[in-house]
Amino acid sequence: MKYVIGVTGNIATGKSTVLDILRELGAHVIDADAVTRRIMRRGEPAFDQIVAAFGPQIVDAGGELDRGALGRRVFADPVALRTLERIVHPLTLAAIRREIDASTAGVVVVEAIKLIESGFADEVGDSLWVVDAPAEVQLQRLVERRGMSREEALQRIAAQPPQAEKLLQADVVIENAGSLEETRRQVYEAWVRIPPQCRSALGTRPVEP
């Protein structure tokens, strides 16, 4: 038996922290952004389509996509963002399906910012987890940890669907604005509600927080 969790939440809500804890517990974690980066490399399925849509100026000197230039383009233009998503979403989802099918873990976690908006949450999720943090915390993390300007950070936050809409659909909400210990406690509480036959298939027992 395989239990598939969808994990989502807007940028800088702290999803990576939650995923790290789930890995510690033995879950197989699939990072949809990492899958997308892979399919966007030169020679991979999305590369030629993206260059055709956005022009050769988004290709760097090494022949790969300049993700920074592409990001600045699409996050400043909702139409361009939708064009990019129409290219990469189907290819990303197909790759994720293959990885889920190939996994031998009892619990598989799929993380994506647009898990709900892409329609994939209904397809893969036995449970939908949403990681949440206040907007001011998101902004601080983007500026301090990712080196964005305040203006760029605000643009990235504004370009995403409202977090409130995700929260309305959540089976589990992880509030991730406090300490690591508090986040870990919430993850453990949700973990022990997973069917025990799936958790036991991992050969890993959750450690008490």
Assign 128 a pLDDT band (cuts: 50, 70, 90): very high
The yes-or-no verdict on residue 202 having pLDDT over 70 is no
Q: Is the pLDDT of residue 206 over 90?
A: no
Lowest mean pLDDT among 50-59, 112-121, 161-170, 197-206: 197-206
Q: What are phi and psi of 65, to 5 degrees?
A: -65, 135
pTM of the model: 0.85
Mean pLDDT of the chain: 91
Alpha carbon separation from 156 to 75, 176, 185 (Å, rounded): 6, 19, 29
Q: Are strands 107-111 and 127-132 parallel, antiparallel or unpaired?
A: unpaired
Residues of the chain with pLDDT > 90, as a percent, come to 83
Distance CA 78, CA 168 (A): 24
Query: Average pLDDT in the 23-46 region?
Result: 94
Q: DSSP characters for 175-208?
A: E-SS-HHHHHHHHHHHHTTS-HHHHHTTT-PPPP
Judge whether residue 18 has pLDDT over 70. Answer: yes
Tokens of 93: 């989802």
Residue 61: pLDDT band (50, 70, 90) is: very high
Residue 175's Cα: distance from chain center in Å? 16
| Helix or strand (DSSP H, E) at 51 | helix 47-54
Residue 207 has pLDDT above 50, yes or no: no
208 vs 193, more confident: 193
- Mean pLDDT value of segment 63-82: 93
Two structure tokens written together for 25: 């517990």
Q: Which domains are present in the chain?
A: 1-27+107-199 (3.40.50.300), 38-104 (no CATH)
Coil vs helix vs strand at 73: helix
Rounded CA gap, 111 and 125, in Å? 11
Q: Cα separation of 88 and 118, whole Å?
A: 11
